[in-house]
Structures are given as C-alpha cells and as structure tokens.
Structure 1
Amino acid sequence: MKSDLLIATNGFKETWPAVEYGAWFAETMRMKITLLGVTESLSPAAIDERHPLEDIFERAVGLFEARGVEYSLEVRKGDAEQVIPDKAHEGDYITVVGPLGRHPLKRWLTGRSIRTLMERIATPILYAPKTRLPLKKMLVSIGGLGYEAAAENLAFQVATATRADVTILHVASPSELEYPGGRDVLKRLDDLAETNTLPGRGLKKGLEIARQCGLNARVATRQGNVVEEILAEIREGDYDLVCMGSAYSASAIRQLYTPNVTAEVAEVAHCPVLTARFKHV
C-alpha cells in the first residue's frame, strides 16, 4: 500500500478512537502517519485553558512511538470540515477520522461530519468512531454497479495483512427490478455468484480475488432496503471492519434519486468503515 495515513482531530475526545485505530492501521500496513490537528474557534472563557489538541497530541505521540510508526505532526486553523479535505488533497492519503463533536442541531440539519467529508475528499476515508481490534471479520459490501472496486481492492489488502475472514455482501433492493436482469437477480439470490448477472459477476470476481490472496472468503446476499440490510448484516455478523464503495462522482443524476448508502451506514455502524470513491477507468 503506497498511500500515507492522514489522521485528523479537532481535539474532541471522541476522535481518540480514530487516532488509536489509525496507529494500528499504519503499523499493520507499514504506512507513514501525518497527524493533523485542527484548531477551531474557542469560546472566550476557554482562551487561557489548555487546548484539547495538546492532550490528544501528547497521547498520540506516545502511541506512535510505542508502535514504532513514522509520523509527523501538523496543526492548522479553521473549520475541520474544510481543513481536513484541503490537507487530504495535498497528498496520496487514506484519511482517518472520527466524530467531530458537532452540535445536535447541526447534525440534524446537515448530517454528521462524515457526510461532508465524503463529499469533499476524493481519496479513501477510514471512519473510526470506535476501535474494534483485533480485526478478525471483515464485511465487503458491493452494490453491483462497480462503485465498490476501489474499496474492494483496499479491503483485500487489509485482509491479507491481518488474515481476517472476508464476507462479500450484495443486497438486492426493490429498485433492482429497474435494471436489465433485475428479476433474474431476485430469482437467483441464493446462488447469485453463479449467475451471469452484473452483481453475480461482481460477487464471483471478488470471491476469486480473495481466494487468490489466500483469504477465507464467502458470499452473502440479502433482499430489502439496502441500508437496513447492510446494518442488519453488520449486527448479526459482528464484523470488525466494513468496506464499501462511494457513489460520489460516479453519476450525478443517479445521486439525486438515491441516498448515499455508505454515509448512512457509516453514521450508524458500530465498527470502523473504510470507503473509497468510485473512479472512472
């Protein structure tokens, strides 16, 4: 894996799991870390107090040195939802973030910060609201339309390094009927990987690649609301990491009519979510 790791924090205490998970990820994947601290506006009463970034940076340095990973530290001032994407676009990074502690009203109006970051960051994102280690079980959710290819590639690299078991999931939604071969998908859901349908070919290819990597891999299929079924699979399978593609930039028209499934899953999932944006080849 050639990318470096960009771990971002604004000092909010709930970003610590992202720092901790990022340190493990960097050690496992042999990556360099840039720890980005974002100083946002403080209330006048807090001006003379110790900045929360200081505590996180102090803990992070100790953690990085204990894990023997190469790291650099950087602090920038501004709004985290803008500063983090700006930094992410300066290099070939996988960006690791956690919840930024936004006011409930802002979350209600615009969604959690991960939505905005997914819109603005073109490179892979690892959202880690919690630390789930060791990594033993990984879920790779594919949509059958090609958005997942980049995330699937990353997932198999991580699984190879950790020897995690891999489940490749496809959820057949009611909208599946709108596409050519959709009825065939629903009829052959139990053995979808054996069909010549678009999602069937995707499942089969993913399974073949995983097994070529020496991974213990299997296929799972579900039918229903995509977000609800993915979350149900995560709960029932008790996965440690979920890998998904992002449809951002894939089809602007399609986005007007469909929810961003990856963002909705990331907001609710009990484990880290690794996502990579679709790329035209």
Structure 2
Amino acid sequence: MISEILIFTNGNATTFPAVTYGAWLGALLQTSVRLVGLDEDPSPSRIDEETHPLEAVFARAVEAFKQAGAEYALEVVQGQAENAIPAYVQGKETLALMGPLGRPPLKRLLAGRSFRHIMEHVAAPILYVPQARLPLKRVLVCLGGLGYEETARSLGTRIMLAARAEATLLTVVPPIDLDYPEARQVGENWQSLLDTDTMIGKNLRRSLEVARAAGLTASIKIRNGSVVEEIQAEVKEGNYDLLCMGSPRSSNALRQLYTPNVTAEIAEMDLAPLLTARYARPE
C-alpha cells in the first residue's frame, strides 16, 4: 500500500518531468505527493537565495501540483542523491519518482549512472521519468519468467486501471545454447510459446489471465533475440508510454554476478518512464 508519492529533484531541469508525472499520478491515484529537494552542495548562504537551483524547480512544481489538483508538501534534505534517496525512502510505504540527475559525463563514466546505484539500494518501487509521456495509453509489461516483475506489475495494474490504459505483456526468448528438452522446446516453438506446456508458456497464460481478470485490456507479445535489444526495439515500435519491469531482490543477489541487470540497462536508455520494484521473495 502506497501512503505517499515521493518526488526527488536536485534542481536540475532534467528532473522536472518527474515532477510533472508525479503531479498527474498523485491526482490520478488520489494520493498525496511530497517533493523532496536534494541540496547536494549545502550552504546556509545559498538555500534561501532565488538563484539556488531548487528555487526554480519548487516554484514550477507548486504550479504543476495546483493545476493537477494534487495534494502536496515540500521538503529539502541535504546530501548527494545516491545516498540521500535510499536513506530517505528506507522504511516508508511509498513510490519514489526521479529523473536523470544531470551528472557530468565524466562522473557517469567513472562512477556509473546514479539510477543503477539508487535502484540497488531502494526497496520501495521506483518510477524513473526521463520524459513525461502523458496521457497514459499504452503500457509494456516485461515478463522475465522468474517472477521479478510481480511487484511492479501489481502497482502498474493499479495505475493502468485508473488511467484506462492498455497493457502488452512482453517476453523475450534469448538465444538458447543449453541442450535439454525444455530449452529445445522453447527455442523451436518461441513464436507459439503461449500454446506450449513449458514453464514460460504457463507463466504467459497465467499472466494474461491475471491481467484480464483485473479488468485490463491486455495482449501477449513474444520476441526472440538479445533481451535488452528486443525490449528496446519493442518500446520504439510500440510507442509505449510506460514500462513495467522487475529487478532482483538486492544488489547482492547472486544472479547479478552472472547476468546483466536488464532493468537498469533499459532505464538508462531513457526511452520512456519506467516503473520497477524489487522482487520480494515470499516468506
């Protein structure tokens, strides 16, 4: 249950699409929003100045919240986003919205993209908004076959129902070099996977049934090839307004030692808003 929507900004203009999206989402879900300004270069002499980078974003944000009819609050915290966001979100039942932080290319090269670090250390759902694609009409839900998408799909369903958006459930069959019966059946029948008795085929049928039972207009899409490249191609071809993807349980998950973090790679392409939530293993 989400009690509040948190929107994070460091004052960079690249973060404002998240503000716009948060205002719309707060009104849509009838949930209060809180804009958290990150003062990454704290100085008592600057914070109250009109030239402080947070001032312009806060002023525009208030207008956006009022125009959308969203209940809102404003707050400023000190610290670098990579550390301040995980610390602020910890223990809260919330949805965290953020956009690109506008880091210099050299810093991204040396330290990596901020979103990847934040995603690995935030347990709450995250909505990454490089651009505000509104109104919401078409949503791509990426099914990985391991259940990591369940939490993101649940929240995404709530948003899709409220916005009356259509869902496409996508699974990508990567090149298979393992020689065992299930793998061969998947590789040879990927175009008709929905009709097979494979684990992936069963998961597709169940996912479609769950989506339709929830009241969504949903369809299945199956692609074959590199997972990241096929998701990227589908997003561009399908002109989707929102992506829903899962992520491993934590940055220490064993699976991350030998497979790429597909969610982070797709997010960093800045294709569309991306909703992700960490996989929570049933107790």
TM-score by length of 2: 0.93
Which letter does structure 2 place at the counterpart of 1:208?
E
Larger displacement relative to structure 2 (28-37 or 65-74): 65-74
Q: Aligned ranges for residues 251-270 of structure 1 at < 5 Å?
A: 252-270=253-271
Distance 1:188 1:154 in 2: 31
Match of 1:21 in 2: 21
Q: Is the 8 A contact 2:167 2:218 kept in 1?
A: yes
Tell me the residue number matched to 2:11.
11
Q: 1:95–1:125: 8 Å Cα contact kept in structure 2?
A: yes
Gaps of 5+ in 1: none
- Aligned-partner Cα distance in 2 for 1:68–1:246: 32
2:152 equivalent to 1:151: yes
Question: Which range moves more in the overlay, 8-17 or 148-157?
Answer: 148-157
When the two chains are superposed, the root-mean-square deviation of aligned CA atoms in Å is 2.1
Distance 1:141 1:249 in 2: 19
Number of positions where the alignment pairs a residue of Structure 1 with one of Structure 2: 280
Report deviation, 1:94: 0.7
CA drift of 1:42 comes to: 7.0
Amino acid at match of 2:115: I
1:35 paired residue number: 35
Distance 1:240 1:149, change over 3 A: same
Is the alpha carbon distance of 1:176 and 1:22 closer, same or farther for their aligned partners in structure 2, counting shifts above 3 Å?
Answer: farther
SS in structure 2 of the partner of residue 95 of structure 1: strand
Cα distance, 1:198–1:101 mapped onto 2, change above 3 Å:
same
In the alignment, which residue of structure 2 is the partner of 1:58?
A: 59
Shift of 1:63: 1.4
Question: Residue in 1 aligned with 2:205?
Answer: 204
1:56 to 1:180, Cα distance in 2 relative to 1, 3 A:
farther
Q: Distance in 2 between matches of 1:61 and 1:23?
A: 9
Question: What does residue 136 of structure 1 align with?
Answer: 137
Distance in 2 (CA, whole Å) between partners of 1:16 and 1:176 is: 44
Distance 1:176 1:150 in 2: 30
Q: Cα deviation per residue 1:37-81 (whole Å; 9 max; x = unaligned)? A: 0001279x9886610101111111121122221211110111111
Q: Distance in 2 between matches of 1:236 and 1:179?
A: 33
Contact 1:231/1:269 (<8 A) preserved: no
Q: Quick check: 1:145–1:199 contact (8 Å CA) kept in 2?
A: no
Q: CA deviation at 1:3?
A: 3.6
Hey, what's the Cα distance between the residues in 2 that align with 1:174 and 1:67?
A: 46
Runs of 4+ in structure 1 over 6 Å off: 45-49
SS of the counterpart of 2:268?
Answer: helix
The residue that corresponds to 1:245 in the other structure is: 246
Map of 2:183 onto structure 1: 182
SS at match of 2:277: strand
Does structure 1 conserve the Cα–Cα contact (< 8 Å) formed by 2:116 and 2:264? yes
Deviation at 1:97, TM superposition (A): 0.2
**SS at 1:115 equivalent:** helix
Q: Which amino acid aligns with 1:23?
A: A
SS in 1 for 2:231: helix
Kept after mapping to 2: 8 A contact 1:4/1:32: yes
